[in-house]
Amino acid sequence: MASYKAHFAFGALIAACVAVAMLVISWVSLMMMPVVFLLAVIGSMLPDIDSDSGLPARLLFGTLAVATIGLTLFYAINNTAISWPQKSLIAVGAGLFVYFIIGGIFKHFTEHRGVFHSIPAALVMGLAAMSGSGLLGIGEKMALAVGLAITAGYLSH
């Protein structure tokens, strides 16, 4: 069983290879090469989101909680019937719900080295990254590069 440092080091090596290969075949520009590198490194850590005590799971649900707080505040701003302390309390409550309740349910139903350590999961993550890139308005070629970087990093795990 490899340690976290070994997974990270090998993921960074594969990420560098993927970024350079995409630059050589002119899929990405020199300015986008670090983005592809970072995405492949992130992809190499994604299989460990099912580890209850792992850093990827904490980062995932922490990021989702912060995003939930931001989105809740964004939508609550237009509601004039609620005061700012109430808006803040609702937003923080929503973030805590995502982190502890949704995260707890996820941890309860997943097992480390389960479904997330599989080739179909790598393909699903790559397709999800491509779809997310498309929703953000990124061009088709770059969306494909994003999906391939995530998938290559995921498979390097």
Give per-residue pLDDT as tens, 61-92.
888 899 999 989 888 888 777 888 888 999 99
The stretch 29-54 carries a mean pLDDT of 85
CB 57 within 8 A of CB 51: yes
pTM for the structure as a whole: 0.72
Is a pLDDT exceeding 90 seen at residue 51? no
Q: Which residue has the tokens 């179909």?
A: 120
pLDDT band for position 96 (50/70/90)?
A: very high
pLDDT at residue 2 in the model: 63
pLDDT digits 0-9 by tens, 113-145: 777 778 888 899 899 999 988 888 888 889 999
Tell me which of 37-51, 118-132, 139-153 is least confident: 37-51
Contacts of 100 (CB under 8 A, 6+ apart): none
pLDDT at residue 49 in the model: 79
CB 148 within 8 A of CB 28: no
> What 8-state DSSP symbol labels residue 99?
I
Is a pLDDT exceeding 70 seen at residue 1? no
How many CA atoms within 13 Å lie on the side-chain side of 45?
Answer: 17
Q: Which amino acid is at 81?
A: A
Structure tokens of 103?
């995260």
